[in-house]
Amino acid sequence: MRFLNNYSPFAATILRVTVGLILLAHGLPKLLIVGAFVDGTGAIVGQALKWPVGLGTIAVEVGAALFLVIGVKVRLAAFVSAVWFFGIAIVVHTLAHNDFWMIFNRDGSDSQSHFEFPFLIAVVCLAVSFLGAGRYGQDE
């Protein structure tokens, strides 16, 4: 499959744009219902932190997503997104359920999917932060 070597410069671009679009699709609904989302966040992180965490989540899922899609400040946007989504995976989708071991699907209920999505987004964003913008990015 040597012919694919010609297209390897596009790998970073494909990852960057895809994860950016997924983040944007994940964050835009939150932007449309900011108050309700922030109140829901308060139930997980506490009332004192609900606005910083809620608005931070929207900023990452919409703002960083736009940077990724456009290809500007890609390494920074991807790294911030990776850190934020590792936090979401651990704090919101495991510790908030008081069951860290849910990530292993012990009961066959597919409950680990709550952990898998943010964890996968975090890992892909971390990879993009290492790879950079790729072809058609403004950074490089």
At residue 112, the pLDDT reads 53
Q: What ranges do the domains of the chain cover?
A: 9-131
At residue 132, the pLDDT reads 92
Q: pLDDT (tens digit, 0 to 9) for every residue of the chain, 140 residues total?
A: 787 788 877 999 999 999 999 999 999 998 898 888 888 777 777 777 778 888 898 999 999 999 999 999 999 999 999 999 998 888 776 665 566 555 555 555 555 567 788 899 999 999 999 999 988 888 75
Answer positive or negative: Cα dihedral of 30, 36, 38, 42. negative
Distance, in Å, from the CA atom of 45 to the CA atom of 88, rounded to the nearest integer, reads 11
* Residues contacting residue 74 through CB under 8 Å, at least 6 positions apart: 16, 67, 68, 128, 129, 132, 133, 137, 139
Structure tokens at 104: 């292993």
